[in-house]
Amino acid sequence: MASVPFSSPLAAELSEGVLERFLRYVRVDTQAEEGAPASTFPSTAKQLDLSRILADELRAIGLDDVELNEFGYVIATLPGTPGAPVIGLIAHVDTTPESPGTGVSPIVHEDYAGEPIVLPGDPSQILDPADEPALAARVGHDIVTSDGTTLLGADDKAGVAEIMTAVAYLRGTSESRATVRVGFTVDEEVGRGADHFDVEAFGAEAAYTLDGSGVGEVEIETFSARQLKVRIEGRGEHPGTAKGKLVNAVKLAADLVAGLPRDTLSPETTEGREGFVHPSRIVATVEEAVVTIIVRDHDDEEFERHTELVLQLAREIQEREPRARVSVETWDQYHNMRSVIEQHPRIVANAEEAIRRAGVEPVRSIIRGGTDGARLTAMGLPTPNLFTGGQKYHSRREWASVQDMATAAAMVVELVRVWGE
Ligand SMILES: [Zn+2]
């Protein structure tokens, strides 16, 4: 048993439920797949294994309009006080393709003493409090990890377990509260979680994704994100007889990448609000090369400048080698939600009040990435992101504190109460 107190009596009361659900959900393989054709949604059918479990559980809790829709989203309503506002609570069932996600075997390290945690399935995977201040600050907590051979899946099954636990709790009370629309999405990790989300039918005035990390965090700023695919068509010839004829797309692609900044504007050299231009993939033959570059920034003007940098490099390649054909395809992935959310101060104020009532201080933080909420905000449903207590996402050293997950579940209950006042 943990030797630190829970952040509130409600957190203590919810802790067992949240841990039991979390340990069950992470064992279900819900890994999404990058690059699946758009007609395949969700990208992997196994995500629905968890969606079905959640739909059944919501029915068992007593929600009577539970729907597992054709896209794999689970949607349900917890009725509130008549006339109260409608708010959404959203989490995603899928896990990232960046780290192994099959056969997750969670381990609870009770009453963590502060030593490095060596994961038994792969002793090269070590959680070291010396490298991780968040872990060093969790002495006395119960820490959940994987066995080291897979990710844990706290991203975002911590959020799912917290929403489920809060809804189950609220269902058994009769105090005044908001009406809650629950939404469990799929394919968030491959940037498509909001693709088929029907904001109008969801019918909420505001929503929250439970998909953040450190305790107390409220996030209203994401990157704006764009992907550019620079396609370079060369000309193939037999190398033995290619003089004056062959145009090598491999070399032109290398020129393009060499033109990108190295000491600045890259993920490995930036932090905080600084953005970047990041070549993430090259597929190339002499005849054709496709360079995938992602552009990220919190600031709109910088974001456009980074995009222009890539377009300019592509033009230069084209000018230098007129026999090649250079084209650029762009895809706007999501947009920083800050400017929209700031127009609705009550949404953040209510979240901060709920966090205080759950026994911790709210912390504003920014996301160097995106969320379903960024997409939903752009679609007309303002959706900031709240903490779940999970850490080190997308890695085999992912971990979560049971006490922090209980605080998050308590925050969700308090949030529904605050909106009902
Ligand atoms: Zn997530």
- N residues, the chain: 421
How far does residue 372's CA lie from ligand 1's centre (Å)?
8
- The predicted model gives 387-401 an average pLDDT of 97
pLDDT, residue 38, reads 83
Q: What is the pLDDT of residues 67-124, one digit of tens each?
A: 999 999 999 999 999 999 999 999 999 999 999 999 999 999 999 999 999 999 999 9
- Is 316's pLDDT higher than 80? yes
pTM of the model: 0.89
How far does residue 414's CA lie from ligand 1's centre (Å)?
22
- Is 39's pLDDT higher than 90? no
Catalytic residue among 29, 57, 94, 211: 94
How far does residue 356's CA lie from ligand 1's centre (Å)?
24
116, two tokens: 């490095």
pLDDT, residue 303, reads 97
Q: Angle at the Cα of 314 (from 308 to 317), degrees rounded to 5?
A: 145
pLDDT, residue 267, reads 93
- Is 354's pLDDT higher than 80? yes
- Is 1's pLDDT higher than 80? no
Catalytic residue among 187, 188, 211, 217: 188
pLDDT, residue 197, reads 96
How far does residue 188's CA lie from ligand 1's centre (Å)?
7
Specify the 3-state DSSP secondary structure of 354.
helix
pLDDT, residue 217, reads 97
Closest C-alpha to 393, from 363, 360, 368: 368
How far does residue 340's CA lie from ligand 1's centre (Å)?
21
- The predicted model gives 324-333 an average pLDDT of 96
- The predicted model gives 352-378 an average pLDDT of 94
The rounded distance, in Å, linking the Cα atoms of 205 and 209 is: 14
pLDDT, residue 398, reads 98
How far does residue 394's CA lie from ligand 1's centre (Å)?
9
How far does residue 389's CA lie from ligand 1's centre (Å)?
12
The rounded distance, in Å, linking the Cα atoms of 124 and 13 is: 36
Closest C-alpha to 128, from 138, 365, 157, 96: 138
pLDDT over 70, % of the chain: 100
353 is catalytic: no
Contact assessment for residue 350 and residue 358, using Cβ atoms and an 8 Å cutoff: no
Q: What is the pLDDT of residues 40-70, one digit of tens each?
A: 999 999 999 999 999 999 999 999 899 999 9
How far does residue 225's CA lie from ligand 1's centre (Å)?
16
Q: What is the pLDDT of residues 143-190, one digit of tens each?
A: 999 999 999 999 999 999 999 999 999 999 999 999 999 999 999 999
- Is 191's pLDDT higher than 90? no
Runs of H (alpha helix) within 27-173: 47-61, 133-136, 154-171
Q: How large is the angle between the packed helices 249-258 and 300-320, nearest 10 degrees?
A: 140
334, two tokens: 């999501």
pLDDT, residue 122, reads 97
Residue 75 makes CB contacts below 8 A (sequence gap 6+) with 66, 67, 69, 181, 182, 183, 202
Q: What is the mean pLDDT of the chain?
A: 96
- The predicted model gives 248-271 an average pLDDT of 96
Q: Over the Cα atoms of the chain, what is R_g?
A: 23
Q: What is the pLDDT of residues 286-304, one digit of tens each?
A: 999 999 999 999 999 999 9
- Is 371's pLDDT higher than 90? no
Give the strands of the sheet with 276-284, arranged side by side: 276-284, 288-297, 224-233, 325-334
pLDDT, residue 64, reads 82
The rounded distance, in Å, linking the Cα atoms of 347 and 321 is: 53
- Is 271's pLDDT higher than 80? yes
Contact assessment for residue 344 and residue 338, using Cβ atoms and an 8 Å cutoff: no
- Is 269's pLDDT higher than 80? yes
**Residue 117 host element (H or E):** strand 117-118
94 is catalytic: yes
pLDDT interval class at 3 (50, 70, 90): confident
CA dihedral of residues 19, 21, 23, 24 (deg, nearest 10): 160
- Is 333's pLDDT higher than 80? yes
- Is 370's pLDDT higher than 90? no
Give the strands of the sheet with 390-391, arranged side by side: 107-109, 143-145, 399-401, 390-391
How far does residue 211's CA lie from ligand 1's centre (Å)?
5
pLDDT, residue 131, reads 94
